[in-house]
Structure 1
Amino acid sequence: MQESGQQARVRRARPETRSSRPLASGYESEFRVDLERLRFAPSFSRLAEVTQVVTAASTPGVVHNRLTHTIKVTAVARAIAVGLWSSSDQELLDRLGGLDHVVTQAAAVAHDLGHPPFGHLGERVLDRLARTRFGLRDGFEGNAQTFRIITELEVLGPGDEGLNLTAAVRAAVLKYPWGRFHWPDPHPSSWPEPPRGAAVGPRRSPSEDLSLGGVPAKFSAYVPDLAELVDVLGAFPGLAPGRQTLECAVMDLADDIAYSLHDLEDFHRSGVLQYSLVSAELREWATNRRELAATDGAELRERARRPGTGLERLRRRLVDKDAWVFDEDAFAEAVGSIGEEFVDGVLAVPHDGSMAADRAISGFTGSWIDRLISSVRLVADPPVRGSTVSLSTLAWHQVSVLKFVHQYFVLNRPDLAMQQRGQAAALTQLVTGYDDWLSDVHDAPRAPRRLVDLVQTAAAGYRRTAREHPEWLDHQTDEASLARMARGRGILDYVASLTDEQSFDQGMRMDGAGGRLWAGGV
């Protein structure tokens, strides 16, 4: 067990222990307390009414929401953790920092708490508004919002900030253990090879302020919460910069596995995935893979949606970003296995609501989850973009192709894009509406009490940061700047805590279109 083990199970006031070995029941109960605190939190219950990809009313089939997705990620994460603990070298587990299956489950339960209304679409909208309207350089990010919820915004009881979880669970949600800009130094975005999620991307839209420049894609703490992140990671002195804890790595991989399969299941049941289109894409790429590989980029773009070109673009992205794991033969084998087992074995027969149709898709999903879980392995010395917990080479390519099918044939649909543009407009209207309301000196006192509380909480965090780490605020520590940042962060915290339906309802009422007045104290 690493020397850091005694510190890793620390709440803000109470010590615990850590080991990859079975824990005495008295210690395990501390992790169980964390798990139950998360399960009983209102922010967890809210996930039942937050979009995974589409809302339940968008399709005749039953689709996952963020809560059902989270429950399944938790099951997969537990299975991976138990499997690794049972089959791996215990000395290697200790060297990698230790692995506890309850901590892993708690991380999985928490991992999507920060998702705003409408899922990833809402995340992009709030990030744009945060940076362009409020001048918050670190914008909005779902993972950072999760960390903020469990450490600051969720209410456990009198005098508590957040859920007062152990350091291990707080660390296990840090999928991208850095701030957007200022920590660590040098920042991972400037490393010769940035870790996954840290690469600097372009502006999100042509209208975005040029002075904001490109921003790292992913991170796990906003400026007011960065000191907490630093403190949590301080409990793991053996953890390399930019590296996840072992429990976090298991949770992250479980999320990938669940996402790659459950959304395909949803859209097959709903009749959205069409056999002819998916089959043609995989078949044409397999038949003409060498010709496609020799096609230059401009010509490939001109061919646009011709069968086979989407998979070829995926292949090239994987080569560019993940050459350390990419293998041409494994990619071709992954395309073949998914074509045979999912496309020909499941999609070839339209889902008609029968028990036989349900057996076909659920059998495929269950067998592939088992297959992917059984392929998980520990990696003693992973590359920068890799992880200490990884799939086999073939399984990694299979997950990449499964995610491509969902992205290419569902997320890129014009009808979904139209709905998402409406959702984006609703969120934009809501954020600007609350900003205008708080700017009205006569009517601001009547703003929602929770909104006012969140702005005050954010103000305290920015003032604390201005005293202790003014460099994290780029020395913008005058009262007007702090107040503007606090208002922006508080509004974002409030809007991100709403369900999809609450977002639409509150937006319509502020626009004068809503018919409901009394709303249970909101």
Structure 2
Amino acid sequence: MLKPIPGYEPYDHERWVPEPPKKSYRSSFERDRARVLHSSALRRLGAKTQVVAPYSDDFVRTRLTHSLEVAQVGRELGATLGCDPDVVDTACLAHDLGHPPFGHNGEKALDQLAAQIGGFEGNAQTLRLLTRLETKTFRHNGASAGLNLTRAALDAACKYPWARPDAPVRNGQKTRKFGVYADDMPVFEWLRAGDETHGMRPEPGQTCIEAQVMDLADDISYSVHDVEDAIVAGRFQLRWIQDPDHRDRVIEYTRRWYLPGVDDATISAALGRLEASQEWVPIATGSRRSMAALKDMTSQFIGRFCSAAIDATRAEYGSDPLTRFNGRLIVPEETDHEIAAMKGLATAYVMTSDERQPIYERQRQMLADLVGLLTETGDQYLEPIFAADWHDARDDGGRLRAVIDQVASLTDASAIEWHRTLVQGEPFRNELY
């Protein structure tokens, strides 16, 4: 018996592989959330880099803790606007599943290594995990259907609903982000098909509002939490940007990475508004009181950014519930600039610091070595599920994709260990004992 949910049609509850009705106290969307929550891909995020490597400090966030925080922010933000909270929660939990070891650095490395087969993109890998690599349901032809989530949940997890060749042009350049590989197009076309019964057909590249909420929750969460982590890790203090040279550095990276086309004065004004808030913590000493102040700053900034988006969206659409494609999330320009300025702080002092560059190079070389070795040795070292994909592949491109899937699934620590044992030939060692 399908549990009705306001704003969602039976079409939204459909699964790629139909499942028999279940007598359950849970809705289909609640079941989606549970499937992602219990997935092995989500567990692996606990050992994957967010900004600071997970093994470097007991305090820093991992991709898993980040995803849990995004889900908390997104669930409440979406519910306030009328979205089903479990649809948003599922998308938030799933949004980083496709990230490989070593964060965005690993993503860039794998994209180069997979260039001949369409590249690698964390968001496209997320769809692949949800619809193929994670195992729960199988199609009529014996192929895996992954977790077999509902159409609404899969669509909400699609941050970039297009293939690489169809990527839109933004700020005069074709975006590098995309959400589906060529061999995953069948399920993508199914989840993006229009609901003819109710006259709903998304425009090409249009994201549903649940995906927009997930995207904003992600931006908000990592903009404030990455800064918090970097401060606690001793990478910088917020008072540094009072120095003109430091401020110019932050402004430069904010513009280059997040706000192309926005002038320096506008970005400086965004920093100034944040500095002027009573929650701003110029220096964190490590004391319990200063740690509490830093935590309060992150909490207040999350509330500040979410409230601004809620108010702007409600001003446009009134109080009606917003679901799927009946509205869009509106983020005021000043709020967008403030979020970008926070991201620019972490970029300037962590991701682009000179001392990190040799580490990034070693990480990229490790992944290149692993892909090279696994390609040369066939299924010899692949885990059973990826070995099966390697055998089922029709050509060398399909076999390379199986290798890329295997390497992308590794955690930071397991990638280092695989490299140590397979490439360097050192004996396996369990450093816990």
TM-score range, shorter chain: 0.7 to 0.9
Partner of 2:11: 7
Q: Is the 8 A contact 2:249 2:348 kept in 1?
A: no
CA deviations 1:88-118 (Å, max 9, x no partner) are xxxxxxxxxxx32110100001100000001
Partner of 2:296: 363
Partner of 2:134: 154
Q: Write the distance in 2 (CA, Å) between the matches of 1:195 and 1:456.
A: 40
The percent identity for this pair of structures is 30
Partner of 2:322: none
The answer to whether 1:232 aligns with 2:165 is no
Which amino acid in 2 is paired with 1:82?
A
The answer to whether 1:416 aligns with 2:356 is yes
Match of 2:104 among 117, 120, 123: 120
Partner of 2:76: 79
Partner of 1:219: 178
Alignment CA distance shift 1:314-1:273 (3 Å): same
1:199 CA displacement: 4.0
**Structure-to-structure mapping, 1:7-406, within 5 angstroms:** 7-14=11-18, 29-58=27-56, 60=57, 62-85=59-82, 99-131=83-115, 135-136=116-117, 138-156=118-136, 160-181=144-165, 187-189=166-168, 194=169, 199-200=173-174, 216-236=175-195, 237-275=200-238, 277-280=240-243, 284=244, 307-308=247-248, 310-311=250-251, 314-315=254-255, 320-321=260-261, 331-341=267-277, 345-348=280-283, 350-352=284-286, 354-377=287-310, 378=313, 388-406=328-346
Q: Is the 8 A contact 1:6 1:15 kept in 2?
A: no
The answer to whether 1:452 aligns with 2:387 is yes
Q: Is the 8 A contact 2:14 2:151 kept in 1?
A: yes
Partner of 1:89: none
Q: Write the distance in 2 (CA, Å) between the matches of 1:42 and 1:107.
A: 16
Partner of 1:503: 415
Q: Is the 8 A contact 1:178 1:220 kept in 2?
A: yes
CA deviations 1:143-174 (Å, max 9, x no partner) are 00000000011011576520011011111111
Q: Write the distance in 1 (CA, Å) between the matches of 2:399 and 2:248.
A: 48
Partner of 1:494: 406
Which amino acid in 2 is paired with 1:311?
I
Partner of 1:516: 428
Which amino acid in 1 is paired with 2:213?
V
Q: Write the distance in 1 (CA, Å) between the matches of 2:274 and 2:340.
A: 11
Q: Write the distance in 1 (CA, Å) between the matches of 2:167 and 2:358.
A: 36
Give the structure-2-normalised TM-score. Answer: 0.85
Q: Write the distance in 2 (CA, Å) between the matches of 1:102 and 1:306.
A: 42
RMSD (Å), alpha carbons: 3.1
Which amino acid in 2 is paired with 1:364?
M
Which has the larger displacement, 397-406 or 308-317? 308-317
Alignment CA distance shift 1:308-1:251 (3 Å): same
Partner of 1:297: none
Q: Is the 8 A contact 2:251 2:268 kept in 1?
A: no
Alignment CA distance shift 1:388-1:328 (3 Å): farther
Q: Is the 8 A contact 2:129 2:146 kept in 1?
A: yes
Q: Is the 8 A contact 1:272 1:410 kept in 2?
A: yes
Higher Rg: 1
Which amino acid in 1 is paired with 2:352?
N
Q: Write the distance in 2 (CA, Å) between the matches of 1:329 and 1:162.
A: 48
1:511 CA displacement: 2.2
**Structure-to-structure mapping, 1:439-478, within 5 angstroms:** 444=379, 447-456=382-391, 459=393
Which amino acid in 2 is paired with 1:486?
G
Q: Indicate the SS of the match to 1:347.
A: coil
Q: Is the 8 A contact 2:383 2:406 kept in 1?
A: no
Q: Is the 8 A contact 1:271 1:351 kept in 2?
A: no
Q: Is the 8 A contact 1:150 1:163 kept in 2?
A: yes
1:32 CA displacement: 0.6
1:345 CA displacement: 3.6
1:414 CA displacement: 1.3
Q: Write the distance in 1 (CA, Å) between the matches of 2:18 and 2:429.
A: 45
Q: Write the distance in 1 (CA, Å) between the matches of 2:24 and 2:264.
A: 50
Count of residue correspondences: 405
CA deviations 1:17-45 (Å, max 9, x no partner) are xxxxxxxx979611010000000011111
1:5 CA displacement: 3.1
Alignment CA distance shift 1:389-1:315 (3 Å): same
Question: Unaligned regions of 5+ residues in structure 1, if any?
Answer: 17-24, 86-98, 182-186, 201-215, 285-304, 381-386, 439-443, 460-481
Partner of 1:300: none
Q: Is the 8 A contact 2:71 2:89 kept in 1?
A: yes
Which amino acid in 2 is paired with 1:450?
I
Partner of 1:212: none
1:518 CA displacement: 9.5
Q: Is the 8 A contact 1:273 1:347 kept in 2?
A: no
Alignment CA distance shift 1:489-1:446 (3 Å): closer
Q: Is the 8 A contact 1:454 1:491 kept in 2?
A: no
Q: Write the distance in 2 (CA, Å) between the matches of 1:369 and 1:31.
A: 26
